[in-house]
Chain A
């Protein structure tokens, strides 16, 4: 007990000191244990209005990138098996360029048939002409005779009949030729219709057929055979809530950011507003989508850029008219 003072008392001295130390330790624990409820900055950049729009009245909308011509779903006039596909996705095609061909063997066979009928009709014509000529010569001969007794009346009638028969045979053969020609033209049109061509110059966006597949003109529920569109420039179709429509400054440029790359801000030029306010097409991919929101669709032209693709979703900010609501701020 030499170290400790003689009259050290547990309850009078040690306990109060321990109590003070305990309170200090507890206070430190409590203060350091307070939860962290600070607001943190987002790790990634969310879409936001920038530049002049950041601090001005504005309207926001979501949209989808589309070709300037909108997407053209190429169809086929006739059904049949695909024999040849000339384009691949991403190809640029000129107007009238062949996209794909449908099996044309049947059409070619009927063309050959029509050609044969033409030859046959031609042969019939020349045969009828020959017969007509012979009959006419004979008739002329009989008619040139001055002596009526030289040839019998019956003989003349027969010759006249032969001439008339040959003439009508010739008429028939000519009519057959015309019919065969018409059939050939039909067969040629048919072959032409089995070749599908690009309606405009543009880019192939999707090819959903391969040689050997059957293209049907009936039904139409399946996906389009080929999708193409004029992708120079690209347009965006921006949905604006009907309640906000009155605020939009039509004609003003829009600031567009693609989804997932919000740090990118592209200025797009106004093209037009759709005349109709339509139910919003939600992009949730749900089969049973029901909506009660209507939107005005605005079309904007994007500048030349590698960052946008057809079908991509974008966020857009458009300048708003100076409304009365802003006066209150």
Chain B
């Protein structure tokens, strides 16, 4: 009986592919837009993820994110080191500076000063060169997306000379980092170098990165640091979330993407609803005939559900594959660097597809259930 329903569905190729297109399109729209949205707001946490060793971030109480921070006096480092449960603590400087290239162009860059001795605070991997290149005098490592903005692709950035606050800086390596939200060029250098590169203000220490002793949890240690030093301490997850929240609060991105996702849903409902209703109406005679031979309403509901299920399965698959292909196709583009599809997103779009089909199926079914067997003769 269900097979008859499937034959009925695929019998009209135009409407069948119309239905598939509707579902596929709204799945693609919802999945792809939500993926980009999630990845975009997660750029706000890139600074946290780019320092993979730090379990707790300590900052001035008014600091909010990796990029919105207020510097602390240098002894804050020793205060943090004095707290029990802190295995190690290293200084971390994040500031902005103006850099002058060889051509004389001026460009704003982010300068990140990592611990002199251990280089804690560098991204996990280097795209070019080794981490130890930073031990050379005046050495900086540029982030990979930033280097593309700085230099045309035919120029190798390694070995290029820059001028930062009247100081010479030589690019010695390229860091494989997650781009920041604003995708400014980021220069990684040692803390002592960074102090020279960044114009002098009284306090320079932006963050203290902390490793937690064995047997302690980061949140316990963060709470103890806050209590004993009066500074603000956040675990890695909390601070990443703070960066994301900052973007959500201060940009129009959630509204924009929310509207698009909603439109995808509406388009899905409209196209699928219309086509499905038309399809059911065209087949109302067949349903009448089925009723005439004694098929119950429950069975008809199951038939329509099978039709909806098939359309949903194929349409959803096409939409998800479309998103995957989209992400794959653009993975080489620096703007999309590090983009991934969170596993929750396809599940959300699956639920959306189910809702679309449930709504449209329910609307279409109403007329079928009311049909009398006599409809065959009309």
Do A23 and B317 touch (CB < 8 A)? yes
Residue-wise interface mask of B (296-325) relative to A, using a CB-CB cutoff of 8 A (1 in contact, 0 not): 000000000000001001101110110110
Chain A stretch 257-283: residues in CB contact (< 8 A) with chain B:
259-262, 280, 282
Residue-wise interface mask of A (289-324) relative to B, using a CB-CB cutoff of 8 A (1 in contact, 0 not): 011110100000000000000000001010010000
Do B10 and A33 touch (CB < 8 A)? no
**Roughly how many angstroms separate A274 CA and B118 CA in the complex, as a whole number?**
32
Chain A residues with Cβ below 8 Å from B254 are: none
A16-B310, A46-B90 as given contacts; A240 in contact with B78, CB under 8 Å: yes
A26-B324, A42-B211, A293-B74 as given contacts; A9 in contact with B10, CB under 8 Å: yes
Do A16 and B117 touch (CB < 8 A)? no
In the assembled complex, A147 has its CB within 8 A of some CB on chain B: no
Residue-wise interface mask of B (199-214) relative to A, using a CB-CB cutoff of 8 A (1 in contact, 0 not): 0101010000001010
Do B202 and A23 touch (CB < 8 A)? no
In the assembled complex, A34 has its CB within 8 A of some CB on chain B: yes
Chain B stretch 202-234: residues in CB contact (< 8 A) with chain A:
202, 204, 211, 213, 224, 227-228
Do A42 and B53 touch (CB < 8 A)? yes
Partner of A60, one of B78, B227, B317, B328: B78
In the assembled complex, B16 has its CB within 8 A of some CB on chain A: yes
In the assembled complex, B253 has its CB within 8 A of some CB on chain A: no
A46-B118, A61-B78 as given contacts; A329 in contact with B341, CB under 8 Å: no
Chain B residues with Cβ below 8 Å from A36 are: 124
Q: For B79, B317, B342, which residue has the most chain A Cβ atoms within 10 angstroms? A: B317
Chain A residues with Cβ below 8 Å from B6 are: 12
Do B78 and A262 touch (CB < 8 A)? no
Chain B: minimal CB distance from A94 (Å) = 38
In the assembled complex, A219 has its CB within 8 A of some CB on chain B: no
Do A244 and B118 touch (CB < 8 A)? no
In the assembled complex, A182 has its CB within 8 A of some CB on chain B: no
Q: For B73, B78, B115, B213, which residue has the most chain A Cβ atoms within 10 angstroms? A: B78
A23-B316, A26-B320 as given contacts; A48 in contact with B53, CB under 8 Å: no
Residue-wise interface mask of B (170-208) relative to A, using a CB-CB cutoff of 8 A (1 in contact, 0 not): 000000000000000000000010011000101010000
In the assembled complex, B370 has its CB within 8 A of some CB on chain A: no
Chain B residues with Cβ below 8 Å from A328 are: 227
Chain A residues with Cβ below 8 Å from B202 are: 290-292
Residue-wise interface mask of A (14-32) relative to B, using a CB-CB cutoff of 8 A (1 in contact, 0 not): 0110111011011101110
Partner of A262, one of B55, B84, B117, B323: B117
Do B343 and A46 touch (CB < 8 A)? no
Number of B residues near A (Cβ < 8 Å) is: 61
Do A40 and B124 touch (CB < 8 A)? yes
In the assembled complex, A128 has its CB within 8 A of some CB on chain B: no
Do B317 and A20 touch (CB < 8 A)? yes
Chain B residues with Cβ below 8 Å from A244 are: 78-79, 82
Do B53 and A16 touch (CB < 8 A)? no
Chain A: minimal CB distance from B178 (Å) = 8
Question: Which residue of the partner chain B has the closest CB to A248?
Answer: B82
Chain B: minimal CB distance from A300 (Å) = 15
**Roughly how many angstroms separate A282 CA and B196 CA in the complex, as a whole number?**
13
A46-B88, A240-B78 as given contacts; A26 in contact with B321, CB under 8 Å: yes
Do B117 and A46 touch (CB < 8 A)? yes
Chain B residues with Cβ below 8 Å from A47 are: 81, 88, 117
Chain A residues with Cβ below 8 Å from B54 are: 39
Number of A residues near B (Cβ < 8 Å) is: 70
Chain B: minimal CB distance from A18 (Å) = 8
Q: How many A-B residue pairs have CB under 8 A?
A: 162
Do B75 and A292 touch (CB < 8 A)? no
A30-B343, A260-B116 as given contacts; A11 in contact with B16, CB under 8 Å: yes
Chain A residues with Cβ below 8 Å from B200 are: 286, 288
In the assembled complex, A62 has its CB within 8 A of some CB on chain B: yes
Chain A: minimal CB distance from B255 (Å) = 26
Partner of A43, one of B49, B78, B119, B227: B119
Chain B residues with Cβ below 8 Å from A42 are: 53, 88, 118, 120, 211
Chain B residues with Cβ below 8 Å from A57 are: 84
Residue-wise interface mask of B (226-259) relative to A, using a CB-CB cutoff of 8 A (1 in contact, 0 not): 0110000000100000000000000000000000
Do B118 and A320 touch (CB < 8 A)? no
**Roughly how many angstroms separate A326 CA and B85 CA in the complex, as a whole number?**
12
In the assembled complex, A59 has its CB within 8 A of some CB on chain B: yes
In the assembled complex, B1 has its CB within 8 A of some CB on chain A: no
Do A45 and B320 touch (CB < 8 A)? no
Do A22 and B84 touch (CB < 8 A)? no
In the assembled complex, A243 has its CB within 8 A of some CB on chain B: yes
Chain B residues with Cβ below 8 Å from A12 are: 6-7, 10
**Roughly how many angstroms separate A55 CA and B124 CA in the complex, as a whole number?**
29
**Roughly how many angstroms separate A18 CA and B74 CA in the complex, as a whole number?**
62
Residue-wise interface mask of A (75-103) relative to B, using a CB-CB cutoff of 8 A (1 in contact, 0 not): 00000000000000000000000000000
Chain B residues with Cβ below 8 Å from A19 are: 313-314, 316-318
Chain B: minimal CB distance from A40 (Å) = 5
Do A16 and B314 touch (CB < 8 A)? yes
In the assembled complex, A37 has its CB within 8 A of some CB on chain B: yes
A31-B343, A48-B87 as given contacts; A293 in contact with B314, CB under 8 Å: no
Partner of A293, one of B16, B73, B211, B317: B73
Partner of A22, one of B88, B116, B310, B317: B317
Task: Report 20 cross-chain contacts, Cβ distance below 8 Å, ordered by A residue.
Answer: A11-B13, A16-B313, A19-B318, A25-B324, A39-B52, A39-B53, A43-B131, A46-B90, A46-B115, A60-B78, A60-B80, A239-B78, A240-B78, A259-B116, A284-B192, A285-B195, A293-B74, A295-B75, A325-B228, A326-B84
Further contacts, 14 of them, CB under 8 A, given A39-B52, A60-B81, A329-B84: A9-B10, A15-B314, A16-B314, A19-B314, A22-B321, A26-B324, A39-B53, A47-B81, A58-B82, A61-B78, A62-B78, A241-B79, A243-B79, A295-B75
